[in-house]
Amino acid sequence: MLSKFRNMTKWGILIIVAVFIIAIFADWGAKMTGLSITPYAMKINGEKILFDQIDGIESSRMENKSDLTDTDRRKIYSGVLDDIVREHLSLEAAQKIGMLATEQEVVTQTRDRLFRNEQGQLEAERYKRARREVSSAEWSHYEDMIRNDITLWKIFNFVTGGIEVTPAELRDYFNLRYQRATLSHILIRPGDFVPIEKAKTYYETHPDSFMIDERIKGRHILFPVRNNMTPAEKLEVRSRAEALLIRLQSGEKFGNIFSSALKDTSGAVIAQELDWFQKGQMVPEFETVAFHWPVNTPTKIIETQFGYHVAYFDAHEARHRQSFDDVSDGLKAALAGDSEINKAKRLIEDIAKRIKNGESFEELARKYSSAKSGARGGLVGNVIPGEMTSDLYPDTNTLKMVGLEMGTLGENGKVYIDPEINRVIFDLEASKISDVIVSSHGFHIVRLEARKPADPKVWETQIFSVENEYREFLKNQIYQDWITELRKKANIEYTESIRKRLE
């Protein structure tokens, strides 16, 4: 099982059910607009899947992404189809073994999510009024979402239940997951070969492509509630949120409290960085406060279905057009075609030959590398497999540089190394240089400066977090393997138009 971890990335370590729920909401939105008369897009074990369902999810994932290449769009579209298949096969399997949500569970969840007040009490009159005023079709569709939500969690827990982790397995996981490698690299981006005039012309002739709607950036501290909590337990959770407000009103800095909450692994409090978000991307209760609250001021307690939040918004921008400097790198990458890709490939291959012939790696990095680390002779710093966080790498500037040059920037300052780079670097020997690696950023040559074992201090301070992480990794791997077996037995048919989209 551990051998599979090395190739796992951010996308492979997702909680699968969360993806399913997105599909459910998109499907519900399509149904609420009326019955589709469009031809079906695909069949899963004989059941037709309409274009409406696929298009709804695809649109939500491409929202506010103006610099997507054709390859990016194909990946997103393929991912949407995969998620729909996973959802369908999971629900189908749950039905076969009798693990569907009960009507009582659906009713209870509907009431708990929508009709309990801040004290956790059911507002019966509001519930009755909604039942009278909301159309039966709309109510039925919402209950269908809840029903599928519950069923997917049930089948997920059924398939992944009973996991036992021995101390030896956990230590092996830790040693592999938290080993460190010090790297240098040379990066050649195809986008750098796109003439600046071409990029500026595109920018000027497509002004709407670079508009950013009103948006907010900030942080929040959440005191989560569970669906099975009693009113008294929910009151206790709220009292902790109120205690936080008192501390803020007494002069404590939100940033200091937030930093402490980030290190809490108990699950009783969750601190999260909120990257730029726009209207429609947060639950309504949170959004309403966010877009009407002054920046640099802690909010009141915000109650949502997830619990009690106290937020702090650092920036609030009106709708505006991004500057050319802000989008130029992404725009040139999107405009890079076969000609630019071939030029970048020829250059990196020439650099590889020159290194083998004895030229200085550092000097070639300074002269040719597209990355900022080129100015340091290509030195990036320490990386670990999979997810990297500010807890492990307090130097956030270096962490961000790693994400921009060799991986992906995630939420809360997390960084994920590109899977192709991740696959190669931990098989290199110290002082050895890789062959050319093709990543989402371009072409790389990587040199492993040093390999270090996992830091024992991390084991001592993060043991519970590491164990939870390993359990989640195992659960998702088990679930993925289960889905793979279901897919092998399933009859999945794509129409010609879908197949063309995937070419």
Of 427, 426, 405, nearest in space to 416 by CA: 405
pLDDT at 76: 83
**3's torsion region: left (phi>0), alpha (psi -120 to 50) or beta?**
alpha
pLDDT at 480: 92
**Which amino acid does the sequence have at 202?**
Y
Q: What DSSP string describes 461-503?
A: HHHHHHHHHHHHHHHHHHHHHHHHHHHHHS-EEE-HHHHHHH-
Residue 261, number of CB atoms within 10 A of its CB: 20
For residues 44 and 152, give the distance between their C-alpha atoms in angstroms, rounded to a whole number: 17
Per-residue pLDDT tens digits of the chain, which is 503 residues long: 444 434 443 333 333 344 444 444 444 444 434 444 457 889 999 998 888 888 878 777 776 555 566 777 788 888 889 999 999 999 999 999 988 889 888 888 887 777 776 566 778 888 888 888 888 888 888 888 889 889 999 999 999 988 888 999 999 988 888 888 889 999 999 999 999 999 999 999 998 888 989 999 999 999 999 877 888 888 999 999 999 999 999 899 999 999 888 877 677 898 888 888 888 888 889 999 999 999 999 999 999 988 999 999 999 999 999 999 988 988 898 899 889 999 999 999 999 999 999 999 999 999 999 999 999 999 988 888 877 776 666 667 778 888 889 888 776 667 888 888 888 888 888 889 999 999 889 999 999 999 888 888 888 877 888 888 889 889 999 999 999 999 999 999 999 888 888 87
pLDDT at 5: 39
* 179-194+336-453 belongs to CATH 2.60.40.60: no
In the structure encoding, which two tokens stand for residue 36, read together? 């589709």
Q: What DSSP string describes 2-55?
A: GGGGGG--GGGGS-HHHHHHHHHHHHHHHHHT----SPEEEEETTEEEEHHHHH
End-to-end CA distance of the chain: 33
What is the fold of 214-318? Chitinase A; domain 3 (3.10.50)
Residues of the chain within CATH 1.10.4030 domain(s) are 2-164+482-502
The arrangement of strands across the sheet holding 40-44 comes to 47-50, 40-44, 492-494
In the CATH hierarchy, which top-level class contains the domain 2-164+482-502?
A: mainly alpha
Of 230, 490, 189, 202, nearest in space to 331 by CA: 202
Residues of the chain within CATH 3.10.50.40 domain(s) are 179-194+336-453, 214-318
pLDDT at 357: 96
